[in-house]
């Protein structure tokens, strides 16, 4: 017997995800029709992070058995990054995540707000403090979950919004080198790019595309839009216009 490992192409994976969503919608439609004449029936897929599954799974099964006995509960335990991908692909009905993203056709409800905890040695002077500022945390080497863990991404985004660079060896010099390269570009283009990135995080896919195009049209009408290609062709440093209201 020979076993081969086949990997779907990008188009094949898209077709597979689309087909799964269609089948899921058919099952949902059948369940809706049945629930109008009797008790709710069907299958519900719930995703729980590993850290929460131990405490929530058994009570959840008990409540479902008591209140909705005709519902089949399918529980998926996984890391939050994978659960996030499953909810986007329509392969989960509900998921418990650390943070929500602005995806179309996905509704979210805030369930609880948790404090982030910093673990240090009992001998550390920090152990005697009741709290510590988020900025102060990054004065020390910090161990975080690897990507695509959602908590890791949330912390990184929060640090970026407060202009905080984690304490990683040789990271600050490299970060400053990249910052200098970025600062050499058009101030108008950099400002619009930053606005597009942060604002679109809270938008759906179509809405973020539309917003990005509106900012791009602003850049098209700015003098820097012509200055960049012209300076490149003439092999000279660009002379950027710092006035955001300037028009060509």
pLDDT of residue 202: 74
Q: Domain 10-95 in CATH: superfamily?
A: Periplasmic binding protein-like II (3.40.190.10)
Q: Which residues contact 182 (CB under 8 A, 6 or more apart)?
A: 190
pLDDT confidence band for 101 (50 / 70 / 90):
low
Buried b / exposed e over 5-23, threshold 16 CB at 10 Å, is: eeeeeeeeeeeeeeeeeee
105 has pLDDT over 90: no
1 has pLDDT over 50: no
* CATH fit for domain 184-248, picks 1.20.58.2030, 1.10.12.10, 3.30.1490.20, 3.40.50.300: 1.10.12.10
The share of the chain scoring above pLDDT 90, in percent, equals 4
Per-residue pLDDT tens over the stretch 147-205: 767 777 778 888 887 878 766 555 667 777 888 888 888 888 888 888 888 887 777 77
pLDDT confidence band for 45 (50 / 70 / 90):
very high
Q: Which residues contact 82 (CB under 8 A, 6 or more apart)?
A: 148
- What is the distance between the terminal CA atoms of the chain, rounded to a whole angstrom? 70
CA angle 93, 97, 98 (to 5 degrees): 165
pLDDT confidence band for 2 (50 / 70 / 90):
very low
The domain locations on the chain are 10-95, 184-248
pLDDT of residue 47: 92
Mean pLDDT of 205-234: 86
Mean pLDDT of 94-106: 74
3 state SS of 159:
helix
């Amino acid at each position: 017997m020979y076993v081969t490992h086949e990997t779907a192409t990008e188009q094949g994976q898209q077709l597979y995800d689309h087909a799964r969503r269609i089948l899921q919608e058919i099952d949902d439609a059948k369940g809706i029709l049945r629930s109008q004449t009797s008790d709710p029936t069907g299958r519900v897929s719930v995703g729980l992070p590993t850290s929460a599954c131990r405490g929530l799974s058994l009570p959840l099964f008990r409540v479902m058995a008591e209140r909705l006995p005709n519902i089949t509960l399918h529980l998926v335990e996984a890391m939050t990054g994978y659960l996030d991908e499953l909810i986007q692909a329509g392969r989960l009905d509900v998921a418990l995540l650390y943070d929500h993203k602005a995806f179309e056709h996905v509704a979210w409800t805030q369930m609880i707000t948790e404090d982030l905890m910093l673990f240090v040695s009992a001998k550390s002077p920090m152990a005697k403090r009741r709290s510590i500022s988020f900025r102060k945390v990054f004065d020390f080497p910090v161990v975080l979950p690897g990507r695509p863990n959602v908590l890791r991404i949330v912390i990184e985004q929060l640090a970026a919004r407060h202009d905080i660079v984690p304490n990683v060896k040789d990271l600050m010099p490299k970060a400053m080198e990249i910052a200098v390269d970025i600062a050499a570009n058009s101030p108008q283009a950099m400002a619009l790019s930053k606005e597009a990135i942060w604002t679109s995080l809270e938008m759906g896919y179509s809405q973020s595309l539309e917003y990005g195009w509106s900012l791009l049209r602003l850049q098209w009408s700015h003098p820097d839009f012509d200055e960049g290609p012209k300076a490149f062709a003439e092999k000279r440093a660009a002379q950027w216009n710092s006035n955001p209201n300037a028009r060509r």
